[in-house]
Chains A and B, each alone.
Chain A
Amino acid sequence: MSSARVNMRPSSKNTLLKVVILGDGRVGKSCLMNRFVSNQFDEHSFHTIGVEFLNKDLNLDDCTYTLQIWDTAGQERFRTLRTPFYRGSDICMLTYAIDDKSTFSNLQMWKNEFLYYADIKENTPFPFIVVGNKSDLSSTEREVSQVEMETWCNENGITSYIETSAKDANNVQEAFRMAVRQWIKLETRADKNEIPFNDTVDLKTKHVEGRTSCCIGSGDE
């Protein structure tokens, strides 16, 4: 993990993406992150204090992305501690637990809190991804159906959503990949807007590579 990274000084520049994971306490944000980064799962993990941070390289379409993942504390008392970290995010992962309706209902609050503190201008598309965790639970325990989730996402203009299980390592990698893809999609669209005469866009390759040289600045946006 991190100790390895220090010695592994990158000799060429990576695309850095800041990812924030939001959601109510106990939906399994830290577990998602730990599963994704170190492929570990701890059944009895603590509440996150304020924030946690890990980074992980992810290869997608011949391009390496370094995800800087900020896992936040869901408890209300940590609100003033976590909100400062929203600014400069590239991707926002909204999480809930499929066995807890209230965590799903709170997605709207989390989305609004994020938009407010991350300083995202209204009507600007932002790469959100909605993640319903604990998909390993039996259907009797489920309180939020996939249809409900899709409906909510459609209403909120979010096109990336997935159900995961940090416990069974199900869809976790996919969730992060999906998030990065969503980011790429919006970035290329943003590029397209900047260069209006170039209206044929190959979504997959060329523009992504083109982005690597300038996406470093996104840390300050």
Chain B
Amino acid sequence: MLNSFRSQLEVYKINKSNDNKNNNGTPQVVPRIRRRSLPRNNFRGVKKEEMQRQTSMYLAYMTIDELYSEILYEILHNVGCDLSCEIGHTALFSYIQDAFHVSNEYHQTQLNAAEDREAPKILLNVEVMEAKDLAPKDSNGLSDPFVTLYLSSNLSRKYNTSVKECTLSPVWEEHFALPLTENVTDDSLCIEVWDFDPAESVKEKFGKIFDVKGVKGVRKLMKEIAVTAAHGQHENELIGKARVPLKTIPAAGMTMWYTLEKKNKDSRQGILKVRLSYSSKKNTLVAEQEHRHLLRILLLHELEKSKVAPHWWCGSFSQQGEAIITQHIIQSGLTPIESAICQWAIFTKVHRNHALSFVLFSNILDKLIKPLQSNNTISPEDTRLFWESTKNLLPYCFSVIRKIKKKQADKVLVKNVNEVLTIISKLLMLDVPNGFDLFPETLYPWISNREERSDFSIKSILIDAIIVSASGWFDYIVENNNKSDSNEIAKLQFVSQIMNLVRCDVQKAVEFFDKIFQQKVGIAYAKELYVCYQQKFSEVAQEIVENMCKSLKKLNFTGNTLNEESHKEPLAEGMKLFELYLGIKRFVLLGKGICPVDCDSFYINNFYKWFHGGVAQWLEIAVYKAQQRIEKAVELDELIPVDASVKYSSSAVDTLSIYYTVKVFWQQLSWPDVEGCYTFIAKMIDDICRCGVFYAQRMSQRVDGMGEIENVYENRFEVTNEWCLAINNIEYVSQALKPFTTELGMTEVIEKMTDLKSPLEAQRCQQTLNNVIDNAIDTVNNEIIELLETVISKMAPAMKRLLIEGAELFNQDSNSVDRLMMYVDTNLSTLNRELNEENFNRVIFMVWEQLTKILIDIIETNLEKRRPPSFYANLHKTLNLMLGSFKTSDETTCDGLSQTEEILRIYGLETNDLIHQVHLDLYDEYKKLNESPYGILTARAKFQGNNLHIEILNAKILIAMDSNGLCDTFVRVHIMPEEKFRNHEQPKTKTHNKNLVPLFDETFELTLTDEQRFMDNGLLLFSVKDKDLLGYNNKHVGEAFIHFKDIPDTEDPLSSLPQVHLELARPTNLDAITIKALEHRQGEKLAKEFLKKFKQRMGTNQPRISM
């Protein structure tokens, strides 16, 4: 910066020497600056004549020599109290000589010429502003004050202000210019405040009597009346006066409150505010031009000398410089506004080569805004100059705005932006003159849509600048990060990178600049950026993401192989894609924060649609990763409860936390589309179920092989705590499913679905999700059951062995029964202690089921071996023992078990008992018969003491057994169990030939032992037979039972008892267990004969078919 500045000065010097050559005698310097300044005014909207007039005027008046001479002259005639006293003329001369780069000789010549010139006509500008606390002079307690001004050197020339009526604190705000005389140092300004007293008649004065206030007022009025009456004329009364020595007034002027005093009076008469400044009578245009040149020369000089950094100089000249400039302002009669416009023009111009502080411009603007807003304060020339200069400055302002991105957002940048925006905000308060082209295309090539654009306001261009720079920066980062030959992952990385940069930029904008923009110029900076970026980013990203989602590499894994290597690429792709998704999601959130109102319209809000295909992949990855972690968790599980109060181990807790990472993923995803949400939740529940199954399988593999005891005596499986933990772990994980699904936000999704679709459809979705959850829980529970089954099936061999041993060793050694009991007891207690009730109940159920299976197996395999009934009886006993010990009361045993128990009981019976059982079963069976095809037997029986009386009365509707359609019938009574009644002959009736309704009418009496009399389950079997001619081949007509318990014990004669009608029946069922058991005892004579007879009893002929 400084270098260019110097070179410019050199150009200036060269020009000067060139000019010197062209001139003989007096050196005539026409500095380049001025030439350049000519076309500067060549803007549109100025009349040609006016332009020419100005040109000629500048040519006539302006040379650097004249300016130099003028400055020297001004130094000689410095006014004001301050500068000339402090800084000697010498210092100023030397400063100005330096600044103008002139030789001593030249300086002397010019100085002499200046000294020869007449002293300047300097004016003292006085503004009488206001007064306060004036002493009341009129009878009404007020005054009618006015001010009179004059210089003590010239009493003849007095200046009066207007009269302010009836006030003690008048406001005048009137301006006066008093020409100064030669003797400035001794002169002083006199200011007098008077009470105006118009000519009034005595009568008029009396008229005011009612306005009089207080006794003092009455006295004053009386005095006035007296004076008026005496003189017949008015007389103004002095309120007070002040005297201001001119040497106390600083060159730059001042505003002061002066105390008003009055001779003979000590008290204050009031205070008066006055603004004082110097000025001179000069042509304003000339003065301004001079001033601009002076400013420029002095500024360049000072910048060169001080070597101040760019953007640093903010308006402070050296003392000398300041003095000279101030003097020039005064002696040229420039108003503060005019001098400010000069500063604006010059500083903006110098800024092009040496950046000045933006604060400087802002401060100058402060002085100019009001005058520029009011139409008449500033000349059209100055207004034009102001805007021309503004045109120079604005590109630098915009440049700062446009370069925000290229710089680090530090304090300096923020300060710069703040200052620039302050300037712009002030400019925004002004109207650009009609037709003035503030933004020519040469300076602003970047303005968009120039042809169609109607709005060329500063604000609109500023927004344009923001957008153009944002857009440019975006293109730049895209170009810089894009690698043409990149693979899929690199492409994603690229998009992510762009996203991150853009998001950071918007965040930076929010953090550092947005507030400033909003406050200063009312522009939502961050929003403008966001709107621009979201569009451009979408253009870049959408296609890449969509293509990526279409071509995602599949993750091939089955539940059993988790091979990291083969999944590296799809995993990396998926993760990158998800990172990008999250990145954009954050960006969208940011957008909602920045533009809460119109964010819905942003294209990027639908970004999730680009990722549609990706979600499935993420879910797959989530499952894959979950399974990997589960595998690890199971591997690391030491199978000890995580603490004393619980019964599950570390991997269960780990698995839950793995579930929760899936939940976190889901929350991060926060998928906006409701239908998608619903479906993905269904998928996730299903996936979690898959993980649960996977965990269960891994868990069961983990404990497999535990609890196997091998020693010389036996191989045995013992339920261990590890097995129980494994089961509990799966249970724990399964129970977590339901709460997990709630946490996925299912309810919210269904609610949203209700709004979006219809309550009915939402309900269906809800139903589906419930089904999926139930199914998932069932599926995992299925795994628990499988594991329980494994445990029980592992116990089976030991149980079987012990059972067989126990059964073989008969009653004399119950040791193995004890061992079995102990084995089952130990394992069940372990299970009971470690498992929850539900699973323990399942176990018990399974134990019985298993036991049934074992027993059936034992029975089947041992039937061939012709085990004695005691073998089964022992098994039966053992089973009952176990049922007694382990069966919980309220539980329903499986059908198989009670059946098996019955089989064992029957198989365990001795043959006699077995046969009696057959009859007891028949007794039960016959009781249920309603109508007999074989006929009815009438009989009765009674006990009397130990005597059994039986009476057989008759039979009717007998089935015909013989070819003649009749029967040769007799009845035999078997008392059962037969082996217990062997001492008695079986009662038998006579045979009634060829008779279907035989009347037997026979009674029998048997004397029984006590034991026989009170036999449990004693039975009378009435067997009705058809007698064969030879008596060898009697046919069985039918049979009936009377149970001992149904026979009355009475003294009454039989004839008084009711007749019992017995429906005759025949055995039908050869498949009964009892019969089967007997069949397995064919080796026994008893069994064999019984079966033979039993089959005879069943008969062969069809009922009711006569031959």
B760 near A46 (CB under 8 angstroms)?
yes
B548-574: which residues lie under 8 A (CB-CB) from chain A?
A: 554, 556, 558-560
Name which residue of chain B comes closest to A218, CB basis: B559
* Contact residues in A for B838 (Cβ distance below 8 Å): 9
A1, A13, A55 interface centre (most CB from chain B within 10 Å): A13
Determine whether A168 belongs to the interface, using a CB cutoff of 8 Å to chain B: no
Q: How far is the CA of A188 from the CA of B686 in the complex (A)?
A: 27
B615, B619, B771, B774 interface centre (most CB from chain A within 10 Å): B771
Q: Given A6-B774, A219-B690, A220-B690 in contact, is the A13-B764 Cβ separation under 8 Å?
A: no
Q: How far is the CA of A216 from the CA of B781 in the complex (A)?
A: 12
A10 near B619 (CB under 8 angstroms)?
no
Q: Given A10-B781, A12-B785 in contact, is the A46-B842 Cβ separation under 8 Å?
A: no
Interface size class of B (residues with CB under 8 A): 35 or more
B767 near A2 (CB under 8 angstroms)?
yes
* Contact residues in A for B462 (Cβ distance below 8 Å): none
B786 near A216 (CB under 8 angstroms)?
yes
Stretch at the interface among A83-91, A155-163, A173-181: A83-91
A80 near B785 (CB under 8 angstroms)?
no
Q: Given A10-B785, A216-B783 in contact, is the A49-B757 Cβ separation under 8 Å?
A: yes
* Contact residues in A for B560 (Cβ distance below 8 Å): 217, 220
Determine whether A206 belongs to the interface, using a CB cutoff of 8 Å to chain B: no
B782 near A16 (CB under 8 angstroms)?
yes
Main secondary structure of the interface of A (DSSP, over half): mixed
Q: How far is the CA of A83 from the CA of B612 in the complex (A)?
A: 11
Q: How far is the CA of A84 from the CA of B615 in the complex (A)?
A: 9
A80 near B616 (CB under 8 angstroms)?
yes
Q: Report the minimal beta-carbon distance from B598 to chain A, rounded to whole angstroms.
A: 27
* Contact residues in B for A25 (Cβ distance below 8 Å): none
A53 near B675 (CB under 8 angstroms)?
no
* Contact residues in A for B758 (Cβ distance below 8 Å): 46
Determine whether B994 belongs to the interface, using a CB cutoff of 8 Å to chain A: no
A84 near B782 (CB under 8 angstroms)?
no
A58-90: which residues lie under 8 A (CB-CB) from chain B?
A: 66, 68, 78, 80-85, 87-88
B765 near A49 (CB under 8 angstroms)?
yes
B693 near A11 (CB under 8 angstroms)?
no
Q: How far is the CA of A10 from the CA of B753 in the complex (A)?
A: 33
B842 near A11 (CB under 8 angstroms)?
yes
Q: How far is the CA of A66 from the CA of B777 in the complex (A)?
A: 14
Determine whether A209 belongs to the interface, using a CB cutoff of 8 Å to chain B: no
Q: Given A6-B774, A216-B782 in contact, is the A84-B616 Cβ separation under 8 Å?
A: yes
* Contact residues in A for B556 (Cβ distance below 8 Å): 119
Q: Given A10-B778, A80-B613, A217-B697 in contact, is the A2-B771 Cβ separation under 8 Å?
A: yes
Q: How far is the CA of A85 from the CA of B686 in the complex (A)?
A: 9
Q: How far is the CA of A18 from the CA of B641 in the complex (A)?
A: 35
A50 near B775 (CB under 8 angstroms)?
no
Q: Given A13-B782, A16-B782, A220-B693 in contact, is the A49-B558 Cβ separation under 8 Å?
A: no
Q: How far is the CA of A50 from the CA of B753 in the complex (A)?
A: 12
A1-58: which residues lie under 8 A (CB-CB) from chain B?
A: 1-3, 5-6, 9-14, 16, 46, 49-55
Q: Report the minimal beta-carbon distance from B746 to chain A, rounded to whole angstroms.
A: 14
B675 near A50 (CB under 8 angstroms)?
yes
* Contact residues in B for A51 (Cβ distance below 8 Å): 679, 682-683, 768
A46 near B764 (CB under 8 angstroms)?
yes
Determine whether A148 belongs to the interface, using a CB cutoff of 8 Å to chain B: no
Against A, the Cβ 8 Å flags (1 = close, 0 = not) of B833-856 are 000001000100110000000000
The one of B682, B753, B781 in contact with A9, judged by C-beta atoms closer than 8 angstroms, is: B781
The one of A3, A68, A119, A220 in contact with B559, judged by C-beta atoms closer than 8 angstroms, is: A220
Q: Report the minimal beta-carbon distance from B883 to chain A, rounded to whole angstroms.
A: 19
Determine whether B694 belongs to the interface, using a CB cutoff of 8 Å to chain A: yes
Against A, the Cβ 8 Å flags (1 = close, 0 = not) of B775-801 are 101110111011001000000000000
Q: Report the minimal beta-carbon distance from A32 to chain B, rounded to whole angstroms.
A: 16
Q: How far is the CA of A88 from the CA of B697 in the complex (A)?
A: 16
Q: Report the minimal beta-carbon distance from B75 to chain A, rounded to whole angstroms.
A: 87
B814-869: which residues lie under 8 A (CB-CB) from chain A?
A: 838, 842, 845-846
* Contact residues in A for B781 (Cβ distance below 8 Å): 9-10
The one of B676, B680, B779, B846 in contact with A219, judged by C-beta atoms closer than 8 angstroms, is: B779
* Contact residues in B for A80 (Cβ distance below 8 Å): 612-613, 615-616
* Contact residues in A for B675 (Cβ distance below 8 Å): 49-50, 78, 81
Determine whether B463 belongs to the interface, using a CB cutoff of 8 Å to chain A: no
A68 near B775 (CB under 8 angstroms)?
yes
Determine whether A143 belongs to the interface, using a CB cutoff of 8 Å to chain B: no
Q: Report the minimal beta-carbon distance from B366 to chain A, rounded to whole angstroms.
A: 62
* Contact residues in B for A52 (Cβ distance below 8 Å): 764, 768
Q: How far is the CA of A176 from the CA of B598 in the complex (A)?
A: 53
* Contact residues in A for B753 (Cβ distance below 8 Å): 49
B558, B678, B775 interface centre (most CB from chain A within 10 Å): B775
B558 near A220 (CB under 8 angstroms)?
yes
Against A, the Cβ 8 Å flags (1 = close, 0 = not) of B668-704 are 0000000110111011001000100110010000000
B554 near A119 (CB under 8 angstroms)?
yes
Q: Given A2-B770, A11-B842 in contact, is the A83-B616 Cβ separation under 8 Å?
A: yes
* Contact residues in A for B554 (Cβ distance below 8 Å): 119
Q: How far is the CA of A85 from the CA of B680 in the complex (A)?
A: 10
The one of B616, B771, B785 in contact with A53, judged by C-beta atoms closer than 8 angstroms, is: B771
* Contact residues in B for A220 (Cβ distance below 8 Å): 558-560, 690, 693-694
Name which residue of chain B comes closest to A72, CB basis: B679
A50 near B559 (CB under 8 angstroms)?
no
The one of A2, A11, A83 in contact with B774, judged by C-beta atoms closer than 8 angstroms, is: A2
* Contact residues in A for B613 (Cβ distance below 8 Å): 80
* Contact residues in A for B761 (Cβ distance below 8 Å): 46, 49
* Contact residues in B for A85 (Cβ distance below 8 Å): 682-683, 686
Q: Report the minimal beta-carbon distance from B1097 to chain A, rounded to whole angstroms.
A: 37
Determine whether B968 belongs to the interface, using a CB cutoff of 8 Å to chain A: no
Name which residue of chain B comes closest to A4, CB basis: B774
Determine whether B620 belongs to the interface, using a CB cutoff of 8 Å to chain A: yes
Q: How far is the CA of A82 from the CA of B842 in the complex (A)?
A: 37
Q: Report the minimal beta-carbon distance from B195 to chain A, rounded to whole angstroms.
A: 95
Q: How far is the CA of A119 from the CA of B675 in the complex (A)?
A: 25
Q: How far is the CA of A5 from the CA of B697 in the complex (A)?
A: 23
Name which residue of chain B comes closest to A88, CB basis: B690
* Contact residues in B for A82 (Cβ distance below 8 Å): 679
B731-763: which residues lie under 8 A (CB-CB) from chain A?
A: 753, 757-758, 760-761
B682 near A13 (CB under 8 angstroms)?
no
Determine whether B772 belongs to the interface, using a CB cutoff of 8 Å to chain A: yes
Q: How far is the CA of A103 from the CA of B697 in the complex (A)?
A: 41
Q: How far is the CA of A49 from the CA of B767 in the complex (A)?
A: 12
Name which residue of chain A comes closest to B789, CB basis: A13
Q: Given A49-B675, A88-B690, A119-B554 in contact, is the A13-B786 Cβ separation under 8 Å?
A: yes
Q: Given A53-B768, A68-B775, A119-B554 in contact, is the A217-B559 Cβ separation under 8 Å?
A: yes
* Contact residues in A for B682 (Cβ distance below 8 Å): 50-51, 53, 85
Q: How far is the CA of A84 from the CA of B753 in the complex (A)?
A: 21
Q: How far is the CA of A51 from the CA of B679 in the complex (A)?
A: 6
Name which residue of chain B comes closest to A221, CB basis: B558
Q: How far is the CA of A88 from the CA of B783 in the complex (A)?
A: 17
A50 near B676 (CB under 8 angstroms)?
yes
A11 near B775 (CB under 8 angstroms)?
no
Q: How far is the CA of A49 from the CA of B752 in the complex (A)?
A: 14
* Contact residues in A for B767 (Cβ distance below 8 Å): 2
A175-221: which residues lie under 8 A (CB-CB) from chain B?
A: 216-217, 219-221
Can you name 13 A-B residue pairings with CB atoms under 8 Å? A5-B775, A6-B774, A9-B781, A13-B782, A46-B760, A46-B761, A46-B764, A78-B675, A78-B679, A80-B613, A219-B559, A220-B558, A220-B693
Q: 9 new A-B pairs (CB below 8 Å) besides A12-B789, A85-B686, A220-B559?
A: A9-B778, A16-B782, A49-B678, A50-B682, A53-B775, A68-B779, A84-B619, A88-B690, A119-B556
In order of increasing CB-CB distance, the 5 nearest A-B pairs are A220-B559, A50-B679, A84-B616, A81-B679, A80-B612
A: which residues have CB within 8 A of B?
A: 1-3, 5-6, 9-14, 16, 46, 49-55, 66, 68, 78, 80-85, 87-88, 119, 216-217, 219-221
